[in-house]
Amino acid sequence: MRISFSALETYKQCPKKYEYEHIERKRGPKGVASIFGTSVHSAMRFMFSRDPLFPTLEEVLAHFRESFSGSESVAEADKSRYQQSGERMIRIYYEKNPPWNFDVIDLESRFEVPLEDKKTGMTHTIAGSIDRIDKTGEGLFEIIDYKTSRKLPAQETVDANTQLAIYQLALEKKWPHIDPEHVTLALYFMKAGEKLVTRRTRQDLDRTREEIIDTIHSIEKRIEVKDFPAKPNPLCDWCSYKPICPAWRHLYRAQDKEAPPDDARPLIKEYFALKREVSEHEDRLQEIAYSINQYLDAQKLDRVFGDDGSITRSQQERTSWDTSKITSILEHTDFWKDILSPDDKKLKKLLPKLPVDLQEQLLADARIVKKFTMLKASTKNALPEDDA
Ligand code: SF4
């Protein structure tokens, strides 16, 4: 299968959107956020193209304005808001990072990475384009991707970013002599004016290959059974297929004044009213449980009786594992190949087979035991009428 990184992302975000876009090839109108992103990227490319000198800030801003305001599908109300935001981003970027301070070796570089599929023997291809590649020193390189719409994420999110790992695979394919240890991967968040940097090890890249192949298998299965479910998500408001999407059909029908009366509306109203009531009862139940626990503590009791039954308190335990500690304990042993990544089920199977010292180390260092108190109510133990 040949697939682009953005198509993979679309599939993970929503299989239905993938089907509309890449199987049925339905073309919806481009959203303003997408037009905006394209215009900012075009301005960034222009900023770093020398002819023979780098363009001035004013020239870059004019390039952005021309590209963005030339689009007729952007509503006037959105236009000035987005234009101001884009100009602000570009101005901050230019002032903080004047183009002459960088040794840019490639811009919007297109790539194709072959991926060997050991299960099927086939070779898949992942294609895309890298915003910018810089030389940062002798034998050192940085891959940069501009982000225009997102807030600054946590460093862990950047460390797990698949797109950057694919870019590194692409760089290796393009220039195999480059040492992967000498490549940094950067996401530049234009809104915040900040760059977040990460790296990938050989194992990380192998994992990325496996993840992509798993996603491709999942797509291939769905193609076979022709089943691409809609997966409503926070980006639906920017999805051009929303008006035809089954997940939103009922909402659009409800807005249609000519549609027949909808029998479900009173039921939905009642459902929400009951949910609210249940949640209020749950809050009150928790308050009462807290007070009963205090009473049991004060009276040194574990069981109390009332007109309707009895309530018994018991101690329970829930066990889970600290995955990073399991990795550090088992990673360098022969047993690691049996689990490869810590997972409760695999660990449960493996534990009895381990030497006693390893078992003890895992139980002592990696096991997390949470104790909690349960109150169990029973109607069988109501006080006899006479005794009440
Ligand atoms: S509107 Fe949401 S659920 Fe529907 S296709 Fe688009 S992303 Fe998927």
Q: Is 187 in the pocket of ligand 1 (CB under 6 A)?
A: no
Number of helices and strands (H, E) in the chain? Answer: 14, 9
Which residue(s) pair with 315 in the sheet? Answer: 373
Number of the ligand 1 atom closest to the C-alpha atom of 231: 3
Ligand 1 atom 4 nearest Cα: 245
Query: CA triplet 377, 380, 385: central angle to 5 degrees?
Result: 110
Q: Is 230 in the pocket of ligand 1 (CB under 6 A)?
A: yes
Number of the ligand 1 atom closest to the C-alpha atom of 232: 3
Q: Is 355 in the pocket of ligand 1 (CB under 6 A)?
A: no
Tens digit of each residue's pLDDT, the chain (388 residues): 999 999 999 999 999 999 999 999 998 777 788 889 999 999 999 999 988 899 999 999 999 999 988 766 677 777 888 999 999 999 999 999 999 999 999 999 999 999 999 888 999 999 999 999 999 999 899 999 999 977 889 999 999 999 999 999 999 998 888 888 899 999 999 999 999 999 998 888 989 999 999 999 999 999 999 999 999 999 998 898 999 999 999 998 878 888 778 888 899 999 999 999 999 999 999 999 999 999 999 999 999 999 999 999 998 888 888 888 888 888 888 887 777 666 777 788 888 888 888 888 888 888 888 888 888 888 776 665 554 3
Number of the ligand 1 atom closest to the C-alpha atom of 245: 4
82, 32 contact by CB (below 8 A): yes
Ligand 1 atom 2 nearest Cα: 236
Residues near 280 by Cβ (< 8 Å), separated by ≥ 6?
A: none
Q: Is 247 in the pocket of ligand 1 (CB under 6 A)?
A: yes
- In one-letter notation, the amino acid at residue 26 is K
Alpha-carbon distance of 108 to 131, in angstroms, equals: 4
Residue spans per domain, the chain:
2-30+102-225, 263-298, 302-387
280, 337 contact by CB (below 8 A): no
Cut 0.75: pTM above it: no
Phi and psi angles of residue 202, each rounded to the nearest 5 degrees, phi first = -55, -45
148, 140 contact by CB (below 8 A): no
Q: Is the peptide bond between 52 and the residue preceding it cis, with omega within 30 degrees of 0?
A: yes
